[in-house]
Copies of this chain bind each other. A is one copy, B any other.
Amino acid sequence: MKKVDIKEVARKAGVSIATVSRAFNDSSRVKAPTKEKIQKISKELNYIPNPIARSLSKKSSETIGVVLPDLFGEFFMDIIHGIDEEAYKHNWFVILSSSHSKRNILETLVEFMGSGRVDGVILMAPQIDERINEIIKKSKRPVVLINAGDSVDINCGANFKINNFEGAYNITEHLIKTHNYKKIGFVSGPKDNYDALERAKGYYKAMHKNGLTVDESLVVPGNFLLESGYAGLKKLLNNKIVPDAVVMANDMMAVGAYQAAKELGYKIPDDIAVVGFDDIYLSQFLAPRLTTVHVPIQDLGRKAVLQLLEITMNKKKNHKPYIETLPTNLIIGGSCGCGR
């Protein structure tokens, strides 16, 4: 397959390369018959403008860089899915990069930002630190954040979050108001994780608003992994004050809690109610089905792309970052005691 470039097409069509280029870009300024001839010949020759050359020339690549903290689990799959779908719809490309360490995120960001390789990046960083913030600030390319803390709002193009607070508040209140539990435990997420902190706040707030005091022995640390949920529930069940219900800061830990309950011979929800957060795929297959909080993850990805494209198109600089917090909704299963 001989390489075919714009010159070749121009020659065969008897026009200049400028005209060929225009036929492919700002079509309005090329006479219809000329354009048709160029299109016909391009098809025959199987010509596609070289996107690299075009990028170099236009200084834009129609490519989004996506930087994720990790690449595993359905949470990230859903984000990627949403991003890919929306990007494809608009004919943009997606360059992916995960990271297994902070350093890596930084490197990737620098590489992305400094080059013409991407026109903007979507960054998901539940624990953003100052160095990342610096890079975002210096960058000429827009950055759209997903699930980042408040500290970075100033520098980014947009920040999409999930209303973790509201979700945790609602599910806790459900346990209180609908089921009349009083001793409600909480297994938290990582201390430095923004989502986790918001969820904890929601739990506390719901307790206080409803006149319940939180005995600190009922709050145990977790890290979003299954094992810590397992350990967390065991600890609570051996506590001097044994809770009648437990809010797990995410579903994976709830899965661990199910295992712990089973091992210790506690029935869910009769002996102990358990609820989670995230509505992962697995949660519907637990017996009883887990009561949890659904988060619109794919939407997060889709919205991030749309916002990024808009910023890129408008090229307004220094506009205020757009901030949107997506609502969650309660998924009622049997693990809270409903349908008993």
Contacts and interface: CB of A to CB of B under 8 A. Distances in A.
- What is the oligomeric copy number? 2
A98 interface: yes
A1 B140 contact: yes
Interface residues on A, range: 35 or more
Interface string A92-118: 011111100000100000110011110
Contacts of A80: 71, 80, 96
B285 A138 contact: no
Interface in A106-136: 110-111, 114-117
Contact of A50 (B78, B88, B97, B115): B115
A71 B77 CA distance: 7
Contacts of A81: 71-72, 98
A99 to B, nearest CB: 8
Interface stretch (A53-61, A169-177, A326-334): A53-61
A282 interface: yes
A88 B97 CA distance: 8
Contacts of A78: 72
Given A80-B96, A96-B80, A51 B1 contact: no
A42 B85 CA distance: 38
A46 interface: yes
A265 interface: no
A103 to B, nearest CB: 12
A152 B264 CA distance: 54
Contacts of A73: 77
Interface in A39-56: 46, 48, 50-53, 55-56
A1 B138 contact: yes
Contacts of A85: 71, 98
A81 B51 CA distance: 27
Given A1-B139, A81-B71, A282-B282, A46 B116 contact: no
Nearest to A73: B77
A10 interface: no
Interface string A78-89: 101100110010
Contacts of A72: 77-78, 81
A116 B50 contact: yes
Contacts of A61: 52
Contacts of A48: 110-111, 114-115
A39 B71 CA distance: 33
12 contacts: A48-B111, A51-B111, A52-B115, A53-B116, A71-B80, A71-B84, A76-B77, A80-B80, A84-B98, A88-B98, A95-B95, A281-B282
For the complex of A and B, 10 pairs with smallest distance between CB atoms: A52-B116, A77-B77, A48-B114, A71-B81, A51-B115, A52-B55, A52-B56, A94-B96, A96-B96, A1-B138
Given A52-B55, A52-B115, 11 more contacts: A1-B139, A48-B114, A52-B117, A80-B80, A84-B98, A88-B104, A93-B117, A94-B96, A255-B285, A282-B282, A282-B285
